[in-house]
């Protein structure tokens, strides 16, 4: 079979193995010619390491100067009669192949990061591969659900405004259609549940577990990713349910920071730039802002994708010493929030409509990045190649 892109709404149903391999190589190439990370960590645990920021962090830390060994946890689907599997599945496979070529350890643990069995697999891997301790823990899970401990029930997140309803446009990647959307305000329960899923509680429980198991190395750091954004995005993000969860994440970073202090370590929330990822395309009414932002940042020579954000985080903002703002946040959104960028975005954004968004905004860049996340639209890849299920299943993460 040939593998073609299949998109339902904003969800990719297929992924291209050779494209994912090439995407990993391209990212390695980017970090290899960037300013190297100095005094970086050697043993890194990444929760959510198969795509987006987590994968980019893994590539940057192994190939961008720190030569780190990594253990990455992810929730991905392998090939079966039902489909070819998810991009993250192939990213895990090809990252590991590249890391091994360089002589670096790369362990892939695939399963639910909230489960006891995955926690135990991580502890075992730290014991056997890392001599019992980690130097950096990256919390980069993006999910819509979290199981309630010791129960069959789930907390489910809702991406909604708080207080008032909101109207805006979302873009269906499946057929490039701009859709006016109305979002009701979240209920109190939805606010609480979203915080349970995307706030800091689970991050803290991982750190508690690692402290209890003596797995924290001297100077160990931990980071998690957040978003704040300019005022025009606040109703759907910063002042909405997701923003509430991120405030909780920021507060948790202070609590974890105290817990890591006896190890001379620290914990930080890193506020990143708005980018196209598997998770972010789910945020309703957010796409028009991203189109205006991409158009502007590319024109001003400031555009970064996940890989450039992560390399800059590690080579300039976390190592050799963390650089934080007045609220102890690491600001990777500094270029996004530049006056020149936001001035242009606020002029462009109100002009975007269903008829002109692909000309006035950078819809081409947005869609191409989305396809590339899934291994499509990548130069140098033979998309005519035939695969059999057996061939795909022989690739092991
Ligand atoms: P992503 O969807 O690309 O990656 C999420 C990762 O979490 C994947 O590796 C996935 O396999 C893993 N995962 C999800 N559920 C899991 C589970 N139950 N068990 C194990 N692994 C699981 O998402 P992205 O965008 O990289 O998000 C990572 C973090 O960055 C999130 O906290 C997000 O809010 C934050 N962020 C994202 C921004 C964006 O524009 N994409 C901007 C600023 C922050």
Ligand 1: which atom is nearest the Cα of residue 275? 40
Question: Token pair for residue 243?
Answer: 């923003």
Ligand 1, residues 269, 272, 279: which to mutate, most atoms within 8 A of Cβ?
A: 279
Distance of alpha carbon 100 from alpha carbon 356, whole angstroms: 47
Give the distance, in angstroms, between the CA of residue 361 and the centroid of all CA atoms in the same chain. Answer: 23
Distance of alpha carbon 75 from alpha carbon 86, whole angstroms: 10
Is 53 annotated as belonging to a binding site? yes
Does the pLDDT at position 207 exceed 90?
A: yes
What are the angstrom distances between the C-alpha of 56 and each of 257, 309, 310, 352? 24, 8, 6, 31
Is 24 close to ligand 1, i.e. is its CB under 6 Å away? no
- Cβ pair 360, 345 in contact under 8 A: no
Does the pLDDT at position 195 exceed 90?
A: yes
Phi, psi dihedral angles at 222 (to 5 degrees) = -140, 140
Is 248 annotated as belonging to a binding site? no
Ligand 1: which atom is nearest the Cα of residue 249? 32
pLDDT digits (tens, 9 = 90+) for 67-80: 999 999 999 999 99
Is 27 close to ligand 1, i.e. is its CB under 6 Å away? no
CA of 319 relative to ligand 1 center, distance in Å:
23
End-to-end CA separation in angstroms for the chain: 22
Cβ neighbours around 175 below 10 Å, total: 8
CA of 280 relative to ligand 1 center, distance in Å:
8
pLDDT-based confidence at residue 321 (cuts at 50, 70, 90)? very high
Is 287 close to ligand 1, i.e. is its CB under 6 Å away? no
The larger pLDDT score, comparing residue 150 to residue 371, is at 371
- Helices 17-32 and 87-101 pack at an angle, to 10 degrees, of 50
Ligand 1: which atom is nearest the Cα of residue 279? 2
Q: So what's the pLDDT on residue 86?
A: 97
pLDDT-based confidence at residue 57 (cuts at 50, 70, 90)? very high
CA of 128 relative to ligand 1 center, distance in Å:
27
Q: What percent of the chain has pLDDT over 90?
A: 99
Question: Token pair for residue 319?
Answer: 């190592």
Strand pairing of 166-172 and 177-183?
A: antiparallel
pLDDT digits (tens, 9 = 90+) for 79-135: 999 999 999 999 999 999 999 999 999 999 999 999 999 999 999 999 999 999 999
Q: Which residue has the tokens 């998690």?
A: 224
Phi, psi dihedral angles at 67 (to 5 degrees) = 50, 40
Does the pLDDT at position 338 exceed 90?
A: yes
Does the pLDDT at position 293 exceed 90?
A: yes
Q: So what's the pLDDT on residue 196?
A: 98
Catalytic residue among 94, 139, 237, 289: 237
Residue nearest to atom 28 of ligand 1 (CA): 140
Mean pLDDT, the chain, whole residue set = 97
Q: So what's the pLDDT on residue 150?
A: 86
Distance of alpha carbon 92 from alpha carbon 106, whole angstroms: 9
Q: Which residue has the tokens 């405004």?
A: 161
CA of 279 relative to ligand 1 center, distance in Å:
6
Is 195 close to ligand 1, i.e. is its CB under 6 Å away? no
- Cβ pair 123, 74 in contact under 8 A: no
**Nearest CA among 310, 320, 324 for reference residue 64:** 310
CA of 141 relative to ligand 1 center, distance in Å:
4
Distance of alpha carbon 126 from alpha carbon 40, whole angstroms: 18
Q: Which CATH class is domain 13-384?
A: alpha beta
Ligand 1: which atom is nearest the Cα of residue 224? 32
**Nearest CA among 149, 126, 146 for reference residue 136:** 126
**Nearest CA among 231, 339, 361 for reference residue 294:** 361
Ligand 1, residues 241, 268, 277, 286: which to mutate, most atoms within 8 A of Cβ?
A: 277
Q: So what's the pLDDT on residue 185?
A: 98
Q: Is 237 a catalytic residue?
A: yes
Distance of alpha carbon 325 from alpha carbon 297, whole angstroms: 23
Bridge partners of 137, per DSSP, are 45, 222
pLDDT digits (tens, 9 = 90+) for 220-267: 999 999 999 999 999 999 999 999 999 999 999 999 999 999 999 999
CA of 58 relative to ligand 1 center, distance in Å:
13
Give pTM, 2 decimals: 0.98
């Amino acid at each position: 079979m040939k593998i073609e892109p299949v998109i339902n709404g904003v969800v990719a149903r297929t992924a291209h193995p050779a494209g994912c391999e090439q995407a990993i190589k391209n990212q390695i190439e980017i970090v290899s010619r960037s300013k190297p990370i100095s005094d970086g960590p050697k043993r890194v645990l990444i929760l959510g390491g198969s795509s987006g920021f987590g994968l980019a962090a893994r590539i940057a830390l192994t190939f961008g100067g720190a030569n780190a060994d990594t253990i990455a946890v992810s929730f991905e689907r392998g090939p079966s009669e039902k489909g070819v599997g998810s991009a993250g599945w192939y990213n895990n496979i090809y990252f590991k192949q590249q890391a091994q070529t360089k002589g670096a350890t790369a362990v892939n643990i695939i399963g639910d990061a909230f489960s006891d069995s995955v926690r135990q697999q991580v502890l075992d891997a730290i014991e056997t591969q890392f001599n019992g301790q980690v130097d950096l823990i990256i919390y980069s899970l993006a999910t819509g659900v979290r199981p309630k401990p010791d129960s069959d029930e789930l907390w489910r997140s809702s991406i909604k405004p708080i207080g008032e309803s909101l109207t805006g446009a979302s873009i269906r990647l499946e057929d490039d259609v701009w859709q006016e959307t109305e979002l009701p305000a979240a209920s109190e329960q939805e606010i609480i549940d979203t915080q349970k899923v995307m706030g800091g509680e689970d991050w803290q429980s991982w750190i508690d577990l690692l402290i209890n198991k003596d797995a924290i190395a001297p100077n160990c750091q931990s980071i998690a990713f957040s978003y704040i954004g300019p005022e025009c995005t606040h109703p759907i993000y910063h002042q909405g349910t997701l923003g509430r969860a991120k405030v909780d994440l920021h507060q948790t970073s202070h609590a974890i920071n105290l817990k890591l202090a006896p190890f001379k370590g620290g914990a930080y929330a890193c506020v990143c730039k708005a980018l196209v990822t598997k998770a972010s395309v789910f945020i309703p009414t957010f796409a028009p802002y991203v189109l205006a932002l991409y158009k502007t940042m590319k024109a001003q020579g400031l555009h970064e994708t996940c890989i450039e954000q992560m390399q800059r985080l590690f080579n300039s903002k976390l190592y050799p010493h963390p650089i934080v703002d007045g609220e102890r946040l690491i600001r990777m959104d500094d270029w996004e929030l530049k006056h020149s960028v936001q001035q242009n975005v606020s002029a462009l954004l109100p002009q975007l409509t269903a008829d002109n968004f692909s000309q006035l905004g950078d819809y081409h860049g947005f869609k191409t990045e989305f396809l590339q996340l899934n291994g499509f639209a990548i130069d140098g890849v033979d998309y005519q190649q035939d695969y059999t299920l057996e061939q795909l299943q022989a690739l092991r993460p």
